[in-house]
């Protein structure tokens, strides 16, 4: 019903597979938005401006759990390989203004995205 808090890994995975089978050949995955990074955005002037980033941040806070996109990243990579799908790692905690640029949240996520890139290339 569009409520991010009701999203589950199973629904996400099944939708990813269904869309790949339908011919979608590119996805953006916001696996760098982690539970520990969400509080780092609290003092931002513009908050979390990425739609995917805000959905995953809301999910993490509602469930008090690590993001299933991060936790299941290996499985996501396997699905992408199986269906020959390209994907980008979305920067869900990118700053929305100069006032928020180069903050701890942005750099924490960028470090994670670098680690995930190495996993995806393996």
Q: Can you tell me the mean pLDDT for 116-122?
A: 97
Domain ranges of the chain: 4-11+25-121
How many whole angstroms separate alpha carbon 23 and alpha carbon 108? 34
Please give the helix or strand (H or E) that residue 26 lies within, else none: strand 26-29
Query: In the chain, what is the straight-line distance between the N-terminal and C-terminal CA atoms, in Å?
Result: 36
- pTM check: above 0.85: yes
- pLDDT tens column, 40-96: 999 999 999 999 999 999 999 999 999 999 999 999 999 999 999 999 999 999 999
pLDDT value for 1: 62
**Is there a contact between 7 and 59 (Cβ–Cβ < 8 Å)?**
yes
């Amino acid at each position: 019903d569009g409520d991010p808090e009701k999203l589950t890994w199973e629904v996400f995975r099944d939708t990813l597979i269904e869309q790949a089978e339908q011919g979608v050949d590119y996805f953006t995955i916001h696996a760098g938005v982690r539970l520990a990074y969400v509080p780092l955005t609290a003092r931002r002037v513009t908050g979390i401006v990425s739609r995917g980033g805000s959905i995953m941040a809301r999910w993490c806070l509602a469930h008090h759990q690590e993001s299933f996109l991060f936790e299941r990243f290996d499985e996501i990579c396997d699905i992408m390989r199986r269906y020959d799908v390209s994907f980008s790692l979305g920067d869900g905690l990118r700053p929305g203004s100069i006032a928020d640029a180069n903050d701890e949240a942005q750099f924490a996520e960028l470090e994670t995205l670098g680690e995930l890139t190495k996993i995806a290339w393996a």
